[in-house]
């Protein structure tokens, strides 16, 4: 069974840092592209960042570029999001999501981890 489990969320002050993790199981993690998607309270889905299966190709949304860093450790079946210089508008539930092998869709999602940026 495919499972994605996020962790690392919590309360952080503006300007602070946080590192999110996504533990993958039930599939060959190293073969799949991965993404982070976030959802602010009461708002819609916002794509945050993409990483290719090898980690060689990375993209970021304009809203996080220069502040967030996506990475992966295929040996540990884990995806990460290092978030620096956090702002109030980064408050959201953060989901990791797998890209389907034969399509462009996000076929599996984690349960999400809440990041709250507040003083």
Partner 1 sequence: DIQMTQSPSSLSASVGDRVTITCQASQDISNYLNWYQQKPGKAPKLLIYDASNLETGVPSRFSGSGSGTDFTFTISSLQPEDIATYYCQQYDNLPTIIPYTFGQGTKLEIK
- Residues near partner 1 (CB under 8 A) are 35, 37, 44-47, 50, 59, 61-62, 95, 100, 103-107, 109-112
Identify which of residues 12 and 98 has a Cβ nearer to partner 1 in the complex.
98
Closest separation in Å from C-beta 73 to partner 1: 22
Identify which of residues 25 and 111 has a Cβ nearer to partner 1 in the complex.
111
Rounded Cα distance between 84 and 101, Å, is: 31
Closest separation in Å from C-beta 22 to partner 1: 12
Closest separation in Å from C-beta 44 to partner 1: 4
Identify which of residues 15 and 49 has a Cβ nearer to partner 1 in the complex.
49
Rounded Cα distance between 13 and 75, Å, is: 32
Identify which of residues 28 and 105 has a Cβ nearer to partner 1 in the complex.
105
Q: Are strands 3-7 and 10-12 parallel, antiparallel or unpaired?
A: unpaired
Closest separation in Å from C-beta 88 to partner 1: 21
Residue 70 near residue 81 (C-beta atoms within 8 A) = yes
């Amino acid at each position: 069974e495919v499972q994605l489990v996020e962790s690392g969320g919590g309360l952080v002050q503006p300007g602070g840092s946080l590192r999110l993790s996504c533990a993958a199981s039930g599939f060959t993690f190293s073969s799949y592209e991965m993404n982070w998607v976030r959802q602010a309270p009461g708002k819609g889905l916002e794509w945050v960042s993409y990483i290719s299966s090898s980690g060689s190709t990375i993209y970021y949304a304009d809203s996080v570029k220069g502040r967030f860093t996506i990475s992966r450790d295929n040996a540990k079946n884990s995806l990460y999001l290092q978030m620096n210089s956090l702002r109030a508008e980064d408050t959201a539930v953060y989901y990791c999501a797998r890209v389907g092998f034969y399509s462009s869709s996000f076929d599996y999602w984690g349960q999400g981890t809440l990041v709250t940026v507040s003083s």
